[in-house]
Amino acid sequence: MAPRASSWEPGASISRFPTPPSTPSRSFSSRTDVRLPGGPRLVTASEMAAVDHAAISRGVSAATLMERAGKESARAIVTWWRGMTAQKPGPMRRRPATAARPTRGRAIVLAGRGNNGGDGFVCARHLKAAGFTVRVLVAAEEDALASEAAQNHAACEKERIPVTFLPDERAWGPGSEAAFAAHEAVFLVDALLGTGSKGAPRGAVGAAIEMAEHTERPIASIDIPSGLDASSGYVELPAIRAEFTVTLQLLKRGLKLEPGRSHAGQVEVVDIGIPQAVIDETIPSMLTVNPDWARGVLPTRPMDAHKGSVGRVLVVGGSAGLVGAVGMASEAALRVGAGYVVAAVPVSCIDPLEARVAEVVKRGLPETSQRSLALSARDEILAEALRADVIALGPGLSRNPETLELARELVERVEAPLVLDADGLNAFEGLGVHRMHGPVVLTPHYAEAARLSGQSIAEIARDPARWARRFADESHAIVCLKSTPMITAVLAEPMILNGTGNPGMATAGAGDVLTGTIAGLIAQGVDAQEAAVLGCFLHGLAGDVAARRLGMWGLIAGDIVRALPAAITALESGALGEI
């Protein structure tokens, strides 16, 4: 078949095995014009600071940016509070001050000493102009205010807005004046810490956060919820859990990565006057997937298509007790449109696999005493791989040492694109994954990522995007990290954050479905990088379809597989809103 070509740049080999002469793969070439998703960019704290500085160097003053930030924050907060936002608000996570949610009332602005606090002072003025009775509580000494913040404090005093400085953390405790004032408010505005903050909030700021959380009043945060790392989504303690976050100019990564996403609530981006030309000059480090892009890279099927022309997948794996993983990966490849799937499994696994999925062709191969694939199965697998457009290696493979050695040899010698998952990844624990022949897509969860890199799960979970970026650059692999949401990273390209999926997909076998989905797309000629991103999108979308039909509780991997055709149909027809 004639594929859409790949952008893969082969990395340096560290092969210990002889490799046969290279031959062209039907799913691989050297094209580098892969289409990037057109969704919003997500920035880190340092990237946002660079954009701010570039705007200031072009003549936009810091004072002007702060005034616009506070004004637009107030406008968005008022609209949110009055229930007039275009996006329907989600359920309140705290009890409102009254059952009817008054359109006006008392509002408390919690301000820090830096620029985020300065935004809060501006916001307070504009909330007052909108009819709210406003008071500002500052978790700092007055003489500690940053320059622009001090100017806007003076502006608040000029407009007779009460401002109280509470630098002592004891002033925020239960029964304090601050706690009483917060309880009397209809909502709180969090302007304590901005994107430049590092580490856990301490002192008066930490005490202010704890007080705000104990009030159970709705909270709107300016730029990011205090305590949230704007770049990674990691949440320090204590931290604000906001109902609404108005973020300035560009989306911050931490607002879309868990656990930060859950702390941000509803998010709205407001324009604070940074010229678009300044933004366009910066190279995005992370983009999001939008449905129009996903629709545009779906494989097409001509009227004269037949099973041999729409992609052949080889799934290598299976072992005693784990053959279901091969069945799920194989069926997923068929459900996304691959025409022919062959499963290479231990000979004793043929009958249970036959009972699991009839449409897959089975190859029973030599096995170890533990009923996993033996090293002697290598030549038969390599012969079958010559006829395949893509190989999915790892589902249900087992961690038998001989089987893992087989996996390493196959990665070195197979020339077709590879999707490596589960024990196919574990075979490279502490070794790294490098290929000479074509693209390799890795789909690790945190534990597999930790084994591959030697880092702890906690380190990876603290900043998953950083891990994905670094590992993709070092391995030259296409990395689909099973973070929440999933991140796809490729050498020298922006990372891609997926936007589909739900917590119900936290179920055994869901990763095998992802492996088969990506492999099935590559088999049909979709570039490996695009297939990785599109596969994550469709996998999550199928999970959303299944959850809509069945509910999230009790969702299983088979439900996701069966929902894949409906997910593709919804994407093609533009009917995602009906899911």
Q: Which DSSP helix (H) or strand (E) runs through 390?
A: strand 390-393
196 marked as binding residue: yes
Q: What are phi and psi of 358, to 5 degrees?
A: -80, -25
Judge whether 233 is annotated as a binding position. no
* 511 in a labelled binding site: yes
Q: Is 112 annotated as a binding residue?
A: no
Closest CA to 115 of 158, 83, 150: 150
**CA distance linking residue 136 with residue 189, whole number of Å:** 9
Give CA 315 to chain center in angstroms: 27
Helix, strand, coil abundance in the chain, percent, nearest 5? 40, 15, 45
Q: Is 17 exposed, middle or buried (0-12, 13-18, 19+ CB in 10 A)?
A: exposed
Q: Is 116 marked as a binding-site residue?
A: yes
Tell me how far apart the alpha carbons of residues 530 and 532 are, in angstroms, rounded to a whole number: 5
Is 83 labeled as ligand-binding?
A: no
Angle ∠(378,382,383) on CA atoms, nearest 5: 120
Structure token digits, residue 239: 């931290």
Q: Is 479:444 a contact under the CB 8 Å cutoff?
A: yes
| Strands (E) located in 453-552 | 478-481, 487-489, 495-497
C-alpha to C-alpha distances, 290 to 255, 294, 426, 486, 576, nearest whole angstrom: 17, 7, 32, 14, 11
Within 8 A by CB and 6+ apart from 122, the residues are 66, 67, 69, 70, 71, 73, 74, 152, 155
Residue 432 known to bind ligand: no
DSSP label of 34: P
If DSSP codes are grouped into helix, strand and coil, which group holds residue 457? helix
Contact (CB, 8 A) for 471 and 477: yes
- Residue 223 annotated as binding site: yes
Is there a binding annotation on residue 118? yes
Token duo for residue 290: 């939008």
Distance CA 280, CA 400 (A): 51
Is 290 a known ligand-binding residue? no
**Annotated binding-site residue? 199:** yes
Locate 20 and state its tokens.
């046969």
**Cis (ω within 30 of 0) for the bond into 259?**
yes
Residue type, 44: T
368 is in an annotated binding site: no
483 is in an annotated binding site: no
Q: Is 568 helix (H, G, I), strand (E, B) or coil?
A: helix
User: What's the half-sphere exposure (Cβ side, CA atoms, 13 Å) at 345?
Assistant: 29
229 marked as binding residue: no
- Amino acid 214 reads H
DSSP, collapsed to helix, strand or coil, labels residue 45 as: helix
Angle 326-332-336 from CA coordinates, rounded to 5°: 150
- Residue 551 annotated as binding? no
Q: Region of 102 please: left (phi>0), alpha (psi -120 to 50) or beta.
A: beta
Which SS3 state, helix, strand or coil, does residue 251 take? strand
Give the residue ranges of the annotated binding site for AMP. 511
Give the residue ranges of the annotated binding site. 115-119, 190, 194-200, 223, 226, 325, 396, 445, 511-512
Give the residue ranges of the annotated binding site for (6S)-NADPHX. 115-119, 194-200, 223, 325, 396, 445, 512
Give the residue ranges of the annotated binding site for K(+). 116, 190, 226
